[in-house]
Structure 1
Amino acid sequence: MAAAPRWRERLFGLFFLSHIPLTLLVDLPALLPAGLRPRALAELLQWYAATFRDPLMLQPPAWFKAFMYCEAFLQMPFFLVAVYAFLKGGCRWIRTPAIIYSTHAATTLFAILAHILFHDFESEHLGPQTQRERLTLLSIYLPYLLIPLLILVTMLYNPHYNHVEKRKRK
């Protein structure tokens, strides 16, 4: 039976491990009303949004808030489980939850990337104003599409994860 490529499992484990503090320190505070955000986190959010011209984090539209609530209540618990499964290695039971996560993440990222690419930010004071700023912001979000797609392909096509055991008939 083929083993899962260990470098991929480590990559996935580190991806989810890095996702935990980013979610807690950057994404979730954006859901809080400005007056309720801890000052340090509000300053971090302001710095990030100004540096990378990301209007989604400072003034998230309703559709983006919906994605962030999904991240908080559906994805965040999965991140903890995924860190364990992928860094331990060889955990076939992660296949179905990883397929669910990766399809959900990829779907949300398509909408986010389309917004970054095609939204008219020129009439707004927030958001990327030049093609370079747009591509820089795109590059921030792109790994959150590409790694889930790699997870999905791995879970679907790697024999370690998609092996179906044959049961003996009595």
Structure 2
Amino acid sequence: MFLRALEIIYFFYFLSHIPITLMVDLQPLIPEHLYPSELKNLLQWYAAEFKDPMMMDPPVWFRSFVFCEALVQLPFFPIAAYAFMKGGCKWIRTPAIIYSVHVATTLIPILSHVLFYNFPLAPHPGPQTLKERLTLVSIYAPYLIIPVMILLTMLFSSTYNSASLKGNASSKSKKQR
């Protein structure tokens, strides 16, 4: 029951990530004229409201993370959404581990940057106060927390790692013969 609840959370996480990535996250990579003004306005509102200058004028290192999101993560989102909607799909284990480790690794420098970087006030103001920094961290934090939850589920749930446990047991019994 608890595992199924987690799978449903993971399903909605991946399903919601598809439009967010396409409509917002990829804007720093894709030529501006390809996006409708409503989506450009949405990004400008978000960046101003939550003081996230990285989305308006991304540093090279951040742009590389967005590139990875487009190239590696975006194709994985519908596959993962399907697997977690269906539930118990053992084949998603290795790709989910790779995804989780990759995303968690990218979020550490992003969160560190938000918390410790001395952001300029112009042209795109970044967070200045602790409250503004924590607000922006709260926007990014689910993209660390949920992948870590997925990683732990893949590593410790008997549903997802039972095949590897059986494989280890059978190889041990073969060695003993």
Give the TM-score, by structure 2 length: 0.88
By how many angstroms is 1:97 displaced? 0.1
1:108 is matched with 106
2:155 is matched with 156
What is the distance in 2 between the residues matched to 1:16 and 1:60?
Answer: 24
By how many angstroms is 1:32 displaced? 2.4
Give the TM-score, by structure 1 length: 0.92
Flag the 1:123–1:51 CA change in 2: closer, same or farther, 3 A. Answer: closer
Give the SS at the match of 2:64.
Answer: helix
Greater Cα shift, 66-75 or 160-169: 160-169
- Note the aligned Cα RMSD (angstroms): 1.9
Which amino acid in the other structure matches residue 72 of structure 2?
Answer: L
1:84 is matched with 82
1:141 is matched with 140
By how many angstroms is 1:123 displaced? 5.4
Greater Cα shift, 104-113 or 21-30: 21-30
1:93 is matched with 91
2:45 is matched with 47
Gaps of 5+ in 2: none
What is the distance in 1 between the residues matched to 2:26 and 2:132?
Answer: 24
What is the distance in 1 between the residues matched to 2:69 and 2:13?
Answer: 15
What is the distance in 1 between the residues matched to 2:89 and 2:46?
Answer: 36
By how many angstroms is 1:160 displaced? 1.1
Give the SS at the match of 1:5.
Answer: helix
What is the distance in 2 between the residues matched to 1:124 and 1:33?
Answer: 23
What is the distance in 2 between the residues matched to 1:74 and 1:61?
Answer: 20
Give the SS at the match of 1:95.
Answer: helix
1:75 is matched with 73
By how many angstroms is 1:52 displaced? 0.4
Within-5 A mapping of 1:59-70: 59-70=57-68
What is the distance in 2 between the residues matched to 1:136 and 1:92?
Answer: 36
Q: Is the 8 A contact 1:4 1:160 kept in 2?
A: no
Higher relative contact order (CA 8 A, sep 6+): 1
Which amino acid in the other structure matches residue 40 of structure 2?
Answer: A
What is the distance in 1 between the residues matched to 2:139 and 2:92?
Answer: 27
Per-residue deviation, residues 53-95 of structure 1 (Å, max 9, x unmatched): 1011000011011000100110001101000000000101000
What is the distance in 1 between the residues matched to 2:153 and 2:49?
Answer: 34
Greater Cα shift, 114-123 or 29-38: 29-38
Which amino acid in the other structure matches residue 75 of structure 1?
Answer: Q
Indicate the percent of aligned positions where both proteins have the same amino acid. Answer: 56
Per-residue deviation, residues 112-170 of structure 1 (Å, max 9, x unmatched): 0000001001555520121111110000000000000000011111111111234596x
Which amino acid in the other structure matches residue 87 of structure 2?
Answer: G
